[in-house]
Amino acid sequence: MAKVELKNLTKKYGDVVAVQNMDLTIPHNEFLVLVGPSGCGKSTTLRMIAGLEEISGGEIFIGDQKVNEKDPKDRNVSMVFQNYALYPHMTVEENLGFSLKIAKVNPDEIEAKVQDAVNILGLEDLRKRKPSQLSGGQRQRVAMGRAIVRRPDAFLFDEPLSNLDAKLRTQMRTEIKKLHQKLKTTVIYVTHDQVEAMTLADRIIIMKDGFIEQIGSPIDVFSNPVNVFVATFIGSPPMNIIECEITKSNDQIMIKLDNDILVHCPKEKIAKLADLKKVIVGIRAEDIVPVKSFSNEQKSLWAFSKAIDLAEPLGTETQLFFKLQNQEIISRMYNPRPVDVGENINFQIETNKIHFFNYETKKAI
Amino acid sequence: MKQIKKIGFWFLVLFLLILICLPGIWIFVSAFRPNPEILAKPANWIPDRWTLHQFTQMFSINGYVSVPAFKYLMNSVIISSVSTVIAITIGMMGGYAFARFNFKGKNKIFLSLMLARAVPGISLSLPLFILFAKVGIINTSFGVILVYVAMNVPFTIWLTDGFFRQIPKEMSEVARTDGCTRFQAFWNVELPLAGPGIGAAAIFAFLLSWNEYALASILTRTVHSKTLPIGMMDYLDEFTINWAGMCAIAVVMIIPALILTFIVQKHLVSGLTFGGVKG
């Protein structure tokens, strides 16, 4: 039952800055996901909250208490590590009860709490086993159980699913989500996998080079990325990015999508784009819609035809690859039919689905 | 062809085995027969007459004492075990520090410890003799223990450092978020995991002390502090050498060493296998 608050948090290793002036308030019961490429400072942030890493500047509050100087043991947070870090010389139940034993809780109460965790995670048959006798998924579950028994103020997950195979990962992801709904505790979850981030988070923080790039709900960061980095990092396949020139002809602002494709600048953007020479256009694969014939509806549309370089059928959809401005573009075709390489396909894009980014600053326009 | 190769291989193994074991077998056989038979030419491999004479004399079972072997054995046991316990305790703490903490000059300190180990012990004998004589700890178990501890600490630090490094640091981190102090994490989690390795290091240190001859031969003077390897020299008289007696005392010395070596070998072969962390 606690919120976690970071104020101006900074971590330096010598001259290298790992986390830079981070300000963040995580309300009670929020599932917060820190996501970013490796080396972006997300794990360091988590380790600072846990107390495993000394902080170079700023303050950390858990509940109402400032914990800067506190040992990990006095912070009442539980951490789940990527490699599980189960105690190999203890059985599953000893692993689960270890923290309570250290806290000198009486054996009956330990047993009750361990049983509780065993029930929640379905570990009944494994109680007497050693970690070496468990599969990856089971180990992961024990590691989570060990975090649960203490009823900590906050759970800290450090890439907990990275060591699992794809199928198990999806399954455990759902379990973590359910667990959070059941336990109603603050969760801070670090991952480099944007799918995990999208599916689990109440709020996502996208980090890069020690800075927060964007904070928002999964839908928010997906639909309104603040810069090119966030746009390409969130979503799969990544957002198509095209560097386009802006030209003026007959008093109209045109965007040069490809050598022979000129499209009108959307009305609402004219004011912002008129003075620029170049712009970065971002379009999600699902917004580049292959059509039989161009529609005449009143919507504002960009439409063009292009020859296909490659088609990848995925069952529910076929991904079409082609090039604009020499950049690889992916489109999703939701009513798959066999597509030949070199076939000319008509595409149309609703202009309100298009993202524009400043060519110099890479920030959203 | 394959068959011949296999047979040839095993003959080679057998030959090497005999070559290696021969001195040991000779010592063992000679300990149980009278001196003249040892000197017989051509060599007599299987004694005509087995006897426990040397052992009964050594341990004064029939009242006559040739060499105070029991006293030497006790000296050896005390000196080796005490120096091992001290060396492994210091080594364990040092090894843990080197494996887990970053401090200024860490690599240099580690290197100088290893270099200290590289100095041949015998070259220190004269300075040590003079020093110990002045301080007044020459010919005492304490003096020998002191030297053996100094000799073994770099070695145990080096070994335990390696064993602690094999334990993922997440082990202690997760223990600390589980409510342990740093020491509790060490005591409850890391030490049990490094246990077999530390045991092996301890046995190595013990064997080193148990077999040490060069320094002990200079620092020990009388029954008061002589260890078994030095005690062996008691069988060397001005004009005669009691080979049988020497072999007998060697057997007393070899047996514990042999047992411990077997234990170490098992630990080294099994190594440290973990299940707690995905490899």
Domain range list for chain A = 4-226, 240-358
Structure tokens at B238: 């001005």
Asked if B173 lies within 8 A of A72 by C-beta distance, the reply is: yes
Residues B110 and B239 in one domain: yes
Looking up tokens 């095993």, which residue turns up? B10
A236 reaches B (C-beta below 8 A): no
The minimal CB distance from A73 to the residues B168, B180, B276 is found for: B180
Asked if B173 lies within 8 A of A85 by C-beta distance, the reply is: yes
pLDDT of residue A303 exceeding 60: yes
Chain B residues whose CB is inside 8 A of the A75 CB are: 177
Nearest to B99 by CA among B181, B177, B175, B156: B156
Residues B35 and B137 in one domain: no
Region B180-190: what's the mean pLDDT? Answer: 89
pLDDT of residue B268 exceeding 70: no
Looking up tokens 């902080």, which residue turns up? A55
pLDDT of residue B278 exceeding 60: no
pLDDT of residue A124 exceeding 90: no
Structure tokens at A9: 């948090």
Let me know: does B220 contact B72? Beta carbons within 8 Å.
no
The minimal CB distance from B179 to the residues A73, A86, A133 is found for: A73
Residues B186 and B259 in one domain: yes
What pLDDT shows up at residue A222? 92
Domain made up of A4-226: CATH architecture: 3-Layer(aba) Sandwich (3.40)
Asked if A146 lies within 8 A of B273 by C-beta distance, the reply is: no
User: Which chain B residue has the Cα nearest residue A99?
Assistant: B178
Nearest to A256 by CA among A265, A246, A268: A246
DSSP B265-279: HHHHHH----SSS--
Asked if A98 lies within 8 A of B176 by C-beta distance, the reply is: no
Confidence of residue B276 (pLDDT cuts 50, 70, 90): very low
Q: Does residue B276 form part of some domain?
A: no
A51 reaches B (C-beta below 8 A): yes
Q: Does residue B279 form part of some domain?
A: no
Host domain of residue B195: 69-270
CA distances from A20 to A17, A55, B75 (A): 7, 11, 63
Burial readout B151-178 (b: 16 or more C-beta within 10 A, e: otherwise): bbbbbbbbbbbebbeebbebbbbbbbbb
SS3 A209: coil
Residues B12 and B32 in one domain: yes
Which of B100, B166, B178, B193 best tests the A interface by mutation, with the highest count of A CBs <10 A? Answer: B178
Chain A residues whose CB is inside 8 A of the B275 CB are: 86, 88, 130-134
Average pLDDT over all residues of chain A: 87
Q: Does residue B63 form part of some domain?
A: no
Looking at B12, B30, B58, the residue that finishes a domain is B58
What pLDDT shows up at residue B272? 41
Asked if B178 lies within 8 A of A131 by C-beta distance, the reply is: no
Q: What is the pLDDT of residues B39-62, one digit of tens each?
A: 878 877 777 778 887 888 777 766
Residues B81 and B117 in one domain: yes
Region B7-11: what's the mean pLDDT? Answer: 93
Q: Does residue B132 form part of some domain?
A: yes
Chain A residues whose CB is inside 8 A of the B168 CB are: 83, 85
Q: Does residue B160 form part of some domain?
A: yes
What pLDDT shows up at residue B266? 65
CB-defined contacts A:B, below 8 A: 86
What pLDDT shows up at residue A163? 82
What residues are paired with A312 via a beta bridge?
Answer: A319
Nearest to A258 by CA among A227, A312, A303: A303
pLDDT of residue B269 exceeding 70: no
What pLDDT shows up at residue B68? 84
Residues B135 and B229 in one domain: yes
What pLDDT shows up at residue B16? 94
- Please give the class, per CATH, of domain A240-358: mainly beta
pLDDT of residue B271 exceeding 90: no
CATH code of the domain containing B208 = 1.10.3720.10
Residues B21 and B159 in one domain: no
pLDDT of residue B31 exceeding 90: no
